[in-house]
């Protein structure tokens, strides 16, 4: 994710576009940054302590982004990206913020129930595939990984969402919302007709 962020920044400010050495330089910089000590611990240790179990949708989005940047092959369509970020934002908000609601049920507890987790993942995958959305592959991968106990956590929800995925999803959707509002405002300003000079409206 850190490398993707550096690549995005380079593309955003037109730094060495279409140059392979820039990507290699960003990769080296990413590795070096991961070992920068912060508070007596390297950065990678802080990241791992914050998110020790990366969810399968997050891993899928990262791999798709890397593949697109490295090989120029678009794995996901815009609708697939929207579904991935939208799911991360909604699922993370429900899972991590529901304790703030007085009297709310413990949603995280349901992830310990094997049948609930399995049917939830299967339902998400089937719903996404029914609409032709490739994000269903992330949910299917989460289901397979859950059955194989690929992650340390036995909770099914940890295979679908993690705190880092949630925060990144909120950031992406927030940036898209701000961009949409700015474009709407620009269209509104441009659509306003100028006032006639001197109040003259009739043609000669």
pLDDT at 3 over 50: no
Evaluate if pTM is beyond 0.85: no
Dig out the tokens for 31 from the structure.
């590795």
Q: Which residue has the higher pLDDT, 44 or 190?
A: 190
What's the mean pLDDT in 185-202? 65
Q: Is 18 exposed, middle or buried (0-12, 13-18, 19+ CB in 10 A)?
A: exposed
Asked if 64 and 75 count as a contact pair (C-beta separation under 8 A), the reply is: yes
pLDDT at 13 over 50: no
Angle at 119 between CA 115 and CA 120, to 5 degrees: 115
3-state secondary structure of 123: helix
pLDDT tens column, 68-93? 876 778 889 999 999 999 999 999 99
Under the banding of pLDDT at 50, 70 and 90, the label for residue 22 is low
Domain positions in the chain are 1-50, 56-191
**Mean pLDDT of the chain, nearest integer:** 79
Asked if 34 and 44 count as a contact pair (C-beta separation under 8 A), the reply is: yes
pLDDT at 191 over 90: no
Give the C-alpha distances (Å, rounded to integers) separating 154 from 1, 61, 92, 108.
25, 22, 18, 12
pLDDT at 128 over 50: yes
Phi, psi of 43 (to 5 degrees): -60, -40
Asked if 64 and 76 count as a contact pair (C-beta separation under 8 A), the reply is: yes
CB within 8 A of 75, min separation 6: which ones? Answer: 63, 64, 67, 68, 134
Dig out the tokens for 149 from the structure.
């106990």
Q: How many CB atoms lie within 10 A of CB 194?
A: 5
Comparing C-alpha atoms, which of 89, 77, 69 is closest to residue 27?
A: 69
d(CA 43, CA 46): 5
């Amino acid at each position: 994710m850190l490398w993707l962020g550096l690549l995005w920044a380079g593309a955003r400010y037109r730094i060495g576009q279409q140059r392979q050495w820039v990507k290699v330089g960003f990769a080296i910089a990413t590795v070096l940054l991961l070992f920068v000590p912060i508070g007596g611990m390297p950065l990678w240790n802080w990241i791992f302590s914050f998110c020790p179990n990366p969810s399968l949708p997050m891993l899928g989005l990262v791999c798709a982004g890397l593949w697109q940047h490295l090989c120029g092959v678009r794995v996901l369509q815009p609708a697939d990206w929207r579904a991935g970020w939208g799911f991360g934002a909604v699922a993370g908000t429900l899972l991590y913020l529901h304790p703030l609601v007085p009297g709310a049920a413990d949603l995280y507890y349901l992830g310990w129930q094997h049948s609930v987790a399995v049917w939830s993942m299967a339902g998400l995958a089937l719903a996404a595939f029914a609409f032709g959305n490739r994000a269903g592959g992330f949910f299917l991968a989460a289901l397979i990984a859950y059955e194989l106990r690929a992650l340390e956590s036995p909770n099914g929800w940890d295979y679908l969402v993690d705190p880092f995925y949630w925060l990144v999803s909120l950031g992406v959707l927030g940036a898209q919302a701000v961009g949409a509002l700015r474009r709407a405002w620009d269209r509104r300003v441009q659509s306003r007709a100028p006032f006639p000079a001197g109040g003259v409206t009739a043609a000669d």
